[in-house]
Structure 1
Amino acid sequence: MKKDKSTEKQFLEYLDRLLAGEEISPGDDVSDEVRSALEHARKMLAFRQEPSAEFRAELRKRLLRQIAEKQAPVVRRQGFGERMADIFPPRPVLVAVTSTVLVVLLIFVGTFWYSSRGGAPAPSTERAAAPSAAEYSVRLPANIMPEDVAFAAETSLSAKSGQAAVYRIQSTDITTESVTALGQRLGFSGEAAFIDGGTKIAMYDGAGEDMRQLIVWTASGAVEYGYVEPEKLYPSYPSELPSQPEAENIAYDFLQQADLLPPGYHSLAKIKDETTVIAGGGYSVSQRYAAPAAEAAPSAPSAPAAPGAPLGTTYWLVGFPFFVNGMEATGPGSKIEVSVGDGGEVVRLLWSWRQMSPLGTDNIISEKQAFQDLIQGKGSLEVPLDCRQVVLEQVQLKYWLDPPSEQQAYAVPVYEFTGQCLDKNGKTLEDFTAWTKALATN
């Protein structure tokens, strides 16, 4: 551990000098991992004439993570509060079970979600004058990519510009009374109170491993619920999980009980095609499953049995769709997820919903222009430092939603790009998701 701390301190000292514009000459005591990270930093800083403060911070975080991964430290399981405190936490491996009973490994990126309800009073109906397109603010993540990365598109890109709707996000007044009412619907006793300098309102219930926590962000109304200790989500004993369809029903009923069903979620059947159920656990699992053959009844064949949970699964992650007037939302505040664990108990909730009102339509740039903006570093793309080619496979127009700690005034369209990152040998390193602004500036 001391060696890791010393390495980190050494790297940060050199990186700070690089960021200050100084030339550096690492000594013989500098490890290969630190040398490699510093060289990447030097190249990436040279690519930008005046790196922004946001870029510097993201670069520092990315390179520290690279060094840590190469040193392969042993990480303890985090408690609920620790997991929720990090906007970009480590990604536990998840396993998706498809209707063809093929289990596919997925990576679940822990994120934070938005809301505008959370037991809060009705949104304000006060309406201000519509701003111009130049006044809309889209706070995309910093752009982190090597200077020599190449781009290729394996899908056609339209050269036609167009128009898209813009929405005003209605403000809410989150109070201790509204959070207390939400807590009571979830079985909490007592009263809610402000924490973290007034940025959140929280309630606690139970003790020890059974202690539950409810947090609502005052800026956005985002709701986070779950057990403080990770044992409920990642138990050390085999979990007895419900079937996938049962998990969907449990999750839907939980949202209904808490009065957190968004408008339009009148029944599970109406949104079932857009709902996902993913098997989650604390480590990698990869296995092909065959559905057990159902015994035929004497009079008629029985229905096929539902696939069971993959080995190592500790909870079902039920994800509900987030649409803005029929179009998908994206960004760190764009989903609603319920984790169903041992015995069918809901062990975690990450909930967001933003009530919106239309402002009108504005001009948007073409897909081809947006892709050129991404190539020129005007968007948000984070790829591994050894990525040599970015291969675009799909582009979609979506609505961006900010982190829960920030109050968002407008929901505006962005272009979302997805594809693969390839190394120098043409092998896939990982999938990527990137964004650029869609609104035309003139």
Structure 2
Amino acid sequence: MKKKCIILLVLILLPCQIIGCAEEISSIDPEYVRTYVPQTAGALPEFIAAFSVPEMPEQADTYRIVYPAVTESFVIETARKFGITGTVTEGTDGFSVVDEQTGSTLEVFTSGAIWYNPEPYREIHFSENAALPSEKEAVGIAVQFLEERDLLPSENKQYAKAGTGGTIQGKPGHILVSFRYTIGEHPVEGPGFRFLVRVGNNGEPGEVFIYCPEVERRKSVLLLPVEKAFGELQKGNGSWTTYNEKTIILEEVGLRYYLQPVNETQEYVLPVYVFQGYGLNDDSTQGNEAQAIVNAVDIGNSR
């Protein structure tokens, strides 16, 4: 049974609330999900498997995203939580508000994602000789900032992780605090995975980006064997992030759920395999980190 949400904010931001649903997917449009994991353009590198296949389940659940109704009144109320007052402007991807006094901006996408950019941006994020908190302190600042605005359900706090978010003249400019989360039993990956707070000079909260859609379970599907999925990657049926190295050594593989960018319409959330490794330099030494993502279900790849 679905939970009724009295406050629209909870409907939009409650991370990964999974609603039980007896209805099954009768079919998945193959033309829609064919590009579910975008195929990277350009030259196809040589992928070499250097990983041991971990124990994987034979099947995994699929989900449908429940998109919220983002209204102008909701955007105004959300802007007030960040101290922003101004005229709401509607665009192709949602709404935006620019503060009349400071110039700080808030964007609320039709997907429910929230993006806050405070001003003065550079002074907060890239101040010379910035007085930064420790990573542990930065996590506490980020958690408090979100909790005071009812933007961080308790499920996400345990996944907080901090690290250098940017540098100026070789020194850390601010601390990036990200909040990982799961859908069902598996972590989320992809360009739509963005739930972060940047903590800058004197511990001041900076940019905030929040996206963790509400989903409802649809049905379980059989997973491709990892070896077969890797074969699809070698044919170019997948997405990869490299630095133009011609050879990629992949050392780890895990099961994840894939989120597309927040400004794109994504109906289903399906499982993917995420491979991690590194590229080889021209002199065969270890190069930059590399990642590749392949569909974990058979959706009719055809390259």
After TM superposition, the score normalised by the length of structure 2 is 0.84
The separation in 1 between residues aligned to 2:94 and 2:226, in whole angstroms, is 39
Q: Which has the larger radius of gyration?
A: 1
Match 2:146 to one of 219, 240, 255: 255
The answer to whether the aligner puts 1:215 opposite 2:107 as a matched pair is yes
Alpha-carbon offset, residue 368 of structure 1 = 0.6
- After alignment, is 224-233 or 373-382 more displaced? 224-233
Deviations 1:361-392 (A, max 9, x none): 0011011111111011111124344x232111
**8 Å contact from structure 2 (residues 132, 202) kept in 1:** yes
Structure 1 match to 2:218? 359
Indicate conservation of the 8 Å contact 1:145/1:381, yes or no.
no
- Equivalence for 1:424: 282
1:217-257 CA-partner distances (Å, limit 9, x unpaired): 11x11111012553234444322222322211110111112
Partner of 1:393: 251
Task: Report deviation, 1:441.
Answer: 4.3
The higher-RCO structure (CA 8 Å, 6+ apart) is 2
Q: Does 1:277 align with 2:162?
A: yes
Q: 1:396 to 1:159 in 2, by over 3 A?
A: closer
Cα deviation 1:61-98 (Å, max 9, x = unaligned): xxxxxxxxxxxxxxxxxxxxxxxxxxxxxxxxxxxxxx
The gaps in structure 2 that reach 5 residues or longer are 1-6, 13-18
Shift of 1:120: 4.5
Q: Report deviation, 1:404.
A: 1.1
Q: Does 2:158 match 1:237? A: no
Matches within 5 A, 1:291-302: none
Conservation of the 8 A alpha-carbon contact between 1:329 and 1:399: yes
Q: Are 1:333 and 1:401, in contact at CA under 8 Å, matched by a contact in 2? A: yes
C-alpha change, 1:180 and 1:119, in structure 2 (3 Å) is farther
Shift of 1:421: 0.9
1:314 deviates by: 2.0
Offset at residue 410 of structure 1 (A): 1.3
Deviation for aligned residue 1:155:
1.2
TM-score by length of 1: 0.59
Give the helix-richer structure, 1 or 2: 1
Conservation of the 8 A alpha-carbon contact between 1:390 and 1:419? yes
Letter of the 2:38 counterpart:
P
CA distance, structure 2, for counterparts of residue 283 and residue 121 of structure 1:
37
Name the CA shift for 1:277/1:382 in 2 (closer, same or farther; >3 Å): closer
Q: Partner amino acid for 1:416?
A: V
Instruction: Could you tell me which runs of 5 or more consecutive residues in structure 1 were left unpaired when the two chains were aligned.
Output: 1-117, 286-311
CA 1:365 to 1:228, structure 2 compared with 1: closer, same or farther past 3 Å?
Answer: same
Secondary structure in 1 matching 2:84: coil
Answering whether residue 302 of structure 2 is matched by residue 439 of structure 1, we say no
Aligned counterparts of 1:324 and 1:237: Cα–Cα separation in 2: 39
Figure out how many residues of one structure are paired with residues of the other and give that number.
Answer: 284
1:107 maps to none
* Counterpart code for 1:142: Q
Matches within 5 A, 1:187-206: 187-194=83-90, 196=91, 198-206=92-100
Tell whether the 8 Å contact from 2:126 to 2:168 is kept in structure 1 after alignment. Answer: no
**Contact 2:86/2:100 (8 A) holds in 1:** no
**Percent identity over the alignment?**
26
Q: Distance in 1 between matches of 2:163 and 2:273?
A: 26
1: CA distance between counterparts of 2:38 and 2:207?
Answer: 26
Residue 349 of structure 1: which of 205, 208, 213 is its match? Answer: 208
Residue of structure 2 equivalent to 1:410: 268
Q: 170-179 or 230-239, which moves further after superposition?
A: 230-239
> In the aligned structure 2, how far is the partner of 1:257 from the partner of 1:162?
42
What amino acid does structure 2 have at the position aligned with 1:351?
Answer: I
The alpha carbon displacement at 1:403 in A equals 0.5
Alpha-carbon distance between aligned partners in 2 of 1:236 and 1:158, rounded to the nearest angstrom? 44
| Residues 424 and 281 of structure 1: CA distance in aligned 2, closer, same or farther (over 3 Å) | closer
Once the two structures are superposed, what CA deviation does each residue of 1:131-165 show, in whole Å capped at 9, x if it has no partner?
A: 42454625323324535x43322212369882111
Q: What is the alpha-carbon distance in structure 2 between the residues aligned to residue 260 and residue 132 of structure 1?
A: 35
Contact conserved, 1:169 with 1:408, CA < 8 A, in 2? yes
The one of 233, 244, 250 aligned to 1:374: 233
Question: Which residue matches 1:130?
Answer: 25
Q: Is the 8 A contact 2:125 2:199 kept in 1?
A: no
Summarize the Cα distance change of 1:406–1:226 in structure 2 as closer, same or farther, 3 Å threshold.
same
Judge conservation of contact 2:197–2:205 (CA < 8 Å) in 1. Answer: yes
Q: 1:120 to 1:395 in 2, by over 3 A?
A: same
Could you give the per-residue CA deviations for residues 31-62 of structure 1, whole angstroms, max 9, x where no partner exists? xxxxxxxxxxxxxxxxxxxxxxxxxxxxxxxx
| Counterparts of 1:352 and 1:162, CA distance in 2 | 29
- Written as runs of structure 1 = structure 2, the 5 A alignment for 1:157-172 is 157=53, 162-172=58-68
Pick aligned residue for 1:183 from 76, 79, 84: 79
